[in-house]
Structure 1
Amino acid sequence: MAGDKDTLLAMGFDPARVEWALKATGNRGLQPAMDHILENESKSVPKMENVSASTASAATDAMDVDEDEEDAEALHSLGGVAANAVEAKSIKCTECGKIFKNTDLANFHAEKSGHDQFEESTEEIKPLTEEEKKERLDELRAKMAEKRSRKAIEEAAEQKANEQLRRKAGKDIHKVREELQAKEAIKEAQQKKRDKLEDAKARAAVKAQIEADKKARAEKAAREKALREGLPIENVDVSNPATAVPQSGSSISGVAGKDFKETRLQIRMSTGGQPYTTSLPSDSPLSAVAEFLAAQTLTVNVDTVTFAQHFPRKSFSRTDFSKSLRELGLTPSAVLIATP
């Protein structure tokens, strides 16, 4: 029995299946064990206690058969056996014609094929010759090698499919990352364009404020000169303050006297950062600018913030917060520097 086990293991069979086959066939030889392994290769190996129980049942049946044979021999010696009595040598499946050496092998065949029609047969299963055993072993080795090769091909195909899925997932992630970067670049370019436009507007507003201040100073100088020389004020020409007199009814502040209903402001923080732009009614007080700025950032306090201008250079005191933007000469547009 140990030799049968070693032979089966040397042929490459799984040790658990070898144990199962030897116990299921009652250790009746190499051929039954190989037949059992081949017929049950697609089934999972059961627990050994179940196999032991089945083997014990088979052994009991075998003992019964031996006892029947002994009784038959006794009857034969006593002359009690009929002359036409025939001894059964095997079990035959009437559906497919296969012959089995014992009941256990017939039962395994029934479980595997679904056949249920069996009968006793007088055909004797001859043991395999050495040449037949060798051919059977070669056949089994070829079958096992084919099975391993098929399994290796399936595993390689599965690994290739998994690798393709992994690469596809990597490409998808890379594509999404590139799209996000492109969107961020477009967004950043648009923001730079807006900032550049706001800066251009702010410079234009500063230039307009400088021109307005120049004109107001020219008007004021022409007016004062006209008063000193006793000339009529309505004949003053502001384009040539040395010889002209400002028109009557003109305001001292010049631009402040024009009817601008709204004032556009750009507010920059002295600490740096993004400028804030807004449009307010020209009659709004400077405190409205402070309230707007406090709503945009938490670092600004309405009661402590101060404002100043670079062109012309001017700082606004707390008393100026109650004055309108028109009175402070901030219309039609101005740039303010805010200090929190």
Structure 2
Amino acid sequence: MASSDLDQLVGMGFDQERAQLALSKAGSIPDAIDWLDKNSEKSIDEIKAEDASTAESASADAGEVAMSMRCADCGKTFRTQGEVQFHANKSGHANFEESTEVLKPLTEEEKKAKLEDLRVKLAAKRAGQAEQDKLDKQKNDEIRRKATKETQDAKEALQAKERIKEAQAKKREKQEEIEARKRVQARIEEQKEERRRKAELEKAARLGQAPPEAAPAPAAAPAPPKPSAAYSEARLRLQTPSGTVQKTLPVETTLFEVAHQLTQEKGITVTNFTQTFPRKVFDSTDFGMTLKEAGMVPSAALIVG
């Protein structure tokens, strides 16, 4: 084992002890690199234990020491038992025999040629692994982007529902304030009328006149006509930028759900609905209303904006 061979292996980044074992088993730098690659997962202790077991088995066998070993399956010859074992592991061949042929050591040119070939193969292997790592990273990045988008879409949908709920709450509060002001105003008018009536009675008593007749109570407003039939579904004619869509939906369906269906089916973003007759615009603050609450039962024609 030439020190220059060991220096070359160490210079390529291999551990010195492993490099020494590889050269002692393989006999040449190319074969040593193959051996190192094959045994990269084994520890030094495991390799030494295998060598001890092989030595004990060899000492138990009697016979003449061969100059070399020959593979009966492919005809290749080998200098050492380590080369035979490496060839058997790599090729799967199992038929070996002793040979008296003395193998000549590799020339410097042959060593350089094999080493260069091995470097090319090693570089190709590393390049292939780098490309696979790149593809794996791209795939993982795509999975992360998809998961992020799905999470963002779900978050935006939840925020939209929350905005609708807030708008509905504000709308209810505003309506309750209006009703409260109406009740207060009606009570003020009643009190004013009561004071006026009382003043007239007192004046009539002072003058010895008959009390004025009470003004007739205003006629009750006629009750709104009841629907002739109870509807459970509403027919909608929706005019979208890509054409007309007709749907029959339960009367409890919200405008938000209608907008969501159009987004899923037509890929459009709905900001408002305009009812053609009577003309009325329903924006995002009204999307919490049901079709029944929006007066779209039993049917309605809408322009999607």
**Coarse TM-score class (shorter-chain normalised):** 0.5 to 0.7
1:40-77 Cα shifts (integer Å, max 9, x gaps): 62443422233334445666788899x956xxxxxxxx
**Could you say which residue in structure 2 is the equivalent of 1:260?**
none
Residue in structure 2 matching 1:160, options 138, 160, 165: 138
- The 1-side partners of 2:72 and 2:36 are apart by 21
Is the 2:9–2:19 Cα contact (8 Å) retained in structure 1? no
Q: CA RMSD in A?
A: 3.4
Residue in structure 1 matching 2:213, options 233, 237, 249: 237
- The 1-side partners of 2:95 and 2:129 are apart by 36
Equivalent AA in structure 2 for residue 158 of structure 1:
D
1:130-163 Cα shifts (integer Å, max 9, x gaps): 2211211110111111122112212222222233
Q: Residues 123 and 24 from structure 1, CA distance in 2 versus in 1: closer, same or farther, beyond 3 angstroms?
A: same
Partner of 2:97: helix, strand, or coil?
strand
Unaligned runs of 5+ in 1: 70-87, 240-246, 248-253, 255-340
Q: Answer yes or no: is 1:183 the counterpart of 2:139.
A: no
Q: Residues 6 and 40 from structure 1, CA distance in 2 versus in 1: closer, same or farther, beyond 3 angstroms?
A: closer
- The 2-side partners of 1:54 and 1:42 are apart by 14
Q: Residues 34 and 136 from structure 1, CA distance in 2 versus in 1: closer, same or farther, beyond 3 angstroms?
A: closer
Higher Cα Rg: structure 1 or 2? 1
| Deviation at residue 19 of structure 1 after TM alignment | 3.2
Q: Residues 29 and 174 from structure 1, CA distance in 2 versus in 1: closer, same or farther, beyond 3 angstroms?
A: closer
1:231-268 Cα shifts (integer Å, max 9, x gaps): 334xx1345xxxxxxx9xxxxxx9xxxxxxxxxxxxxx
- The 1-side partners of 2:132 and 2:157 are apart by 38
Q: Answer yes or no: is 1:41 the counterpart of 2:14.
A: no
Q: Residues 202 and 45 from structure 1, CA distance in 2 versus in 1: closer, same or farther, beyond 3 angstroms?
A: closer
Equivalent AA in structure 1 for residue 92 of structure 2:
G
Is the 2:70–2:97 Cα contact (8 Å) retained in structure 1? yes
**Could you say which residue in structure 1 is the equivalent of 2:301?**
none
| Deviation at residue 103 of structure 1 after TM alignment | 2.2
Is the 2:68–2:102 Cα contact (8 Å) retained in structure 1? yes
Is the 2:70–2:98 Cα contact (8 Å) retained in structure 1? yes
Residue in structure 2 matching 1:216, options 172, 175, 194: 194
Is the 2:79–2:103 Cα contact (8 Å) retained in structure 1? yes
Is the 2:68–2:103 Cα contact (8 Å) retained in structure 1? yes
The alignment of Structure 1 onto Structure 2 pairs a total of residues equal to: 217
| Deviation at residue 178 of structure 1 after TM alignment | 2.2
**Could you say which residue in structure 1 is the equivalent of 2:48?**
52
Q: Answer yes or no: is 1:107 the counterpart of 2:85.
A: yes
Equivalent AA in structure 1 for residue 148 of structure 2:
G
| Deviation at residue 172 of structure 1 after TM alignment | 3.0
Partner of 2:93: helix, strand, or coil?
coil
Unaligned runs of 5+ in 2: 218-305
- The 2-side partners of 1:3 and 1:216 are apart by 122
1:255-302 Cα shifts (integer Å, max 9, x gaps): xxxxxxxxxxxxxxxxxxxxxxxxxxxxxxxxxxxxxxxxxxxxxxxx
- The 1-side partners of 2:53 and 2:181 are apart by 106
Is the 1:93–1:99 Cα contact (8 Å) retained in structure 2? yes
| 1:1-340 correspondence runs (5 A) | 1=1, 2-10=3-11, 12=12, 14-15=14-15, 19-20=17-18, 22-23=20-21, 27=24, 30-31=27-28, 34-39=30-35, 41-56=37-52, 68=64, 88-233=66-211, 236-238=212-214
Is the 1:24–1:51 Cα contact (8 Å) retained in structure 2? no
So what's the TM-score if we normalise by structure 1?
0.54
Equivalent AA in structure 1 for residue 8 of structure 2:
T
- The 2-side partners of 1:216 and 1:29 are apart by 120
1:167-192 Cα shifts (integer Å, max 9, x gaps): 33333333233223222221111111
Paired-residue identity, %: 41
Is the 1:94–1:118 Cα contact (8 Å) retained in structure 2? yes
So what's the TM-score if we normalise by structure 2?
0.59
Q: Residues 112 and 19 from structure 1, CA distance in 2 versus in 1: closer, same or farther, beyond 3 angstroms?
A: farther
